[in-house]
Amino acid sequence: MDKRVNLLDLNHEELIRFFESLGEKPFRSNQLLGWIQRGVRDIGKMTDMPVILREALMQKASIGNLSLKEKRVSKIDGTIKYLFQLPDKEVIESVLMNYNHGYSVCISSQIGCRMGCLFCASTGIGFGRNLSKGEMLEQVMMIRDDIGRRIKNIVVMGIGEPLENYESLVGFLKAVNSPKIMNIGYRHITVSTCGLAPQIEKLSKEGMQINLSVSLHAPNDYIRTQIMPINKKYAIDNLIEACKIYTRATGRRVTFEYILISGLNDSKNDAGELSGRLKNLLCHVNLIPFNTVRGLKYRKSSLGKAAIFKAMLEKNKINATIRRELGSDIDAACGQLRRHVIKE
Ligand code: SF4
């Protein structure tokens, strides 16, 4: 097991202290960050540092610890799914999507997930551990370096519940936003949660204009509890109240993710009830055609039903879109690739 410090886990002050512990001046931290910003993470190539310092650094520290295990490119739309391996042999997945407005990277925040959403490929694989801030950051860096292009948007929507890994998440958000590291504006970052209401309120106080995406997937507690165990802890009314606090504090609208599952949550009545709940809330509803997962019983709603659902929301003055399905040929839905690799 690699006992070296992962420098991507440190914030700027911690990095300065690390260099001081080696008898070096604080400016070394800026030199190191400059290389990282330019996509160089091989300490041996950091030629503005003396050889003796580079050797000491290589002994005591690493800049990241992920290795690429598998990569799948969609022939349909170019979406790329990456599977990365960690030193403890755990695997995590990330996805690159090419939208009209630029490249977006979707990262994982935990190894596995313990939230148990029934429609999710991550359920049943088990929970390993939280990812560190550096492990989250490195997913973005590895993908940026692989494609050689600027990453415009980040979504923390892969495997795991990011708000359950709160401290690492906030450290990661600050790092990607930092002009010294990735310089990606908070408005270009989205954090997705299955509905941890207290943490949503906590995030609203961080002073970051992060986009919040909430996995709602049901118009009432009866349906939501069937597919999302977290609803037993934080019922829909608590969740929506936390979202209101978030929009008031940040001025950002909340996106509600709603997977349309045939016969479960896709009727006209469901759309009407959902409209009532979201009335007067600064929000948008993202309707998602269910991405069929082998081994799960749920089926996708028809396109016709999705269109009726959307029209009903719009009639009630709720903004709604039907999400374009990306990467359907490469297991791009969250947890699918990892699930297959683990089971193979
Ligand atoms: S949908 Fe998200 S929160 Fe729910 S089990 Fe899957 S990864 Fe976890």
Q: What is the pLDDT of residues 257-289, one digit of tens each?
A: 999 999 999 999 999 999 999 999 999 999 988
Average pLDDT, rounded, for the chain:
91
CA distances from 329 to 45, 80, 104, 194, 341 (A): 39, 11, 19, 25, 15
The string of DSSP letters for 64-128 reads ---EEEEEEE-TTT--EEEEEE-TTS-EEEEEEEEETTEEEEE--SEEE-SS--TT-TTTTT-EE
What phi and psi values does residue 250 have, to the nearest 5 degrees?
Answer: -110, -20
| Ligand 1: centre distance to CA 194 (Å) | 7
Please give the share of the chain, as a percent, with pLDDT higher than 70.
93
Say if residue 323's pLDDT is above 50.
Answer: yes
Kindly state if the Cβ of 291 falls inside 6 Å of ligand 1.
Answer: no
pTM: 0.91
Probe ligand 1: pick from 194, 196, 224, 230, max atoms within 8 Å of CB? 194
Kindly state if the Cβ of 115 falls inside 6 Å of ligand 1.
Answer: yes
Kindly state if the Cβ of 334 falls inside 6 Å of ligand 1.
Answer: yes
pLDDT band at 10 (very low <50, low <70, confident <90, very high): very high
Q: What is the pLDDT of residues 151-202, one digit of tens each?
A: 999 999 999 999 999 999 999 999 999 999 999 999 999 999 999 999 999 9
Kindly state if the Cβ of 117 falls inside 6 Å of ligand 1.
Answer: yes
pLDDT band at 206 (very low <50, low <70, confident <90, very high): very high
Whole-number pLDDT of residue 328: 60
Q: Which two tokens stand for residue 342?
A: 């683990």
Q: What is the pLDDT of residues 124-141, one digit of tens each?
A: 778 999 999 999 999 999
**Annotated catalytic residue, options 113, 194, 243, 334:** 334
Q: Which two tokens stand for residue 184?
A: 């990606």
Kindly state if the Cβ of 131 falls inside 6 Å of ligand 1.
Answer: no
Radius of gyration for the chain, computed over Cα atoms and rounded to the nearest angstrom? 21
Determine which of 43-57, 66-80, 314-328 has the lowest per-residue pLDDT on average.
Answer: 314-328
Mean pLDDT on 89-109: 92
Whole-number pLDDT of residue 325: 62
**Annotated catalytic residue, options 93, 135, 161, 257:** 93
Mean pLDDT on 212-223: 96
What phi and psi values does residue 192 have, to the nearest 5 degrees?
Answer: -110, 135
pLDDT band at 344 (very low <50, low <70, confident <90, very high): very low
| Ligand 1: centre distance to CA 335 (Å) | 9
334 noted as active-site residue: yes
Which ligand 1 atom sits closest to the C-alpha of 158? 7
Whole-number pLDDT of residue 3: 84
Contacts of 326-329 with CB under 8 Å at 24 or more apart are 326/74, 326/77, 326/79, 326/97, 327/74, 327/76, 327/77, 327/79, 327/81, 327/95, 327/97, 328/74, 328/76, 328/291, 329/74, 329/75, 329/76
Kindly state if the Cβ of 194 falls inside 6 Å of ligand 1.
Answer: yes
pLDDT band at 19 (very low <50, low <70, confident <90, very high): very high
The string of DSSP letters for 170-190 reads HHHHHHHH-TTTT---GGGEE
Say how many C-beta atoms besides its own lie within 10 A of residue 276's C-beta.
11
The angle, 0 to 180 degrees and rounded to 10, between the axes of the packed helices 166-177 and 133-147 is 40
Kindly state if the Cβ of 192 falls inside 6 Å of ligand 1.
Answer: no
Which structural domains are found in the chain, ordered by start? Answer: 5-62 (1.10.150.530), 67-343 (3.20.20.70)
Whole-number pLDDT of residue 166: 98
Kindly state if the Cβ of 159 falls inside 6 Å of ligand 1.
Answer: yes
Going by CA atoms, what residue is nearest to atom 6 of ligand 1?
A: 120
Q: Which of 99, 193, 207, 108 is nearest to 153 (CA)?
A: 99
Which ligand 1 atom sits closest to the C-alpha of 113? 8
Give the range with max mean pLDDT: 34-38, 39-43, 163-167.
163-167
| Ligand 1: centre distance to CA 124 (Å) | 11
Which ligand 1 atom sits closest to the C-alpha of 193? 3
Round to whole Å and give the CA distance between 25 and 190. 36
pLDDT band at 119 (very low <50, low <70, confident <90, very high): confident
Mean pLDDT on 288-298: 76
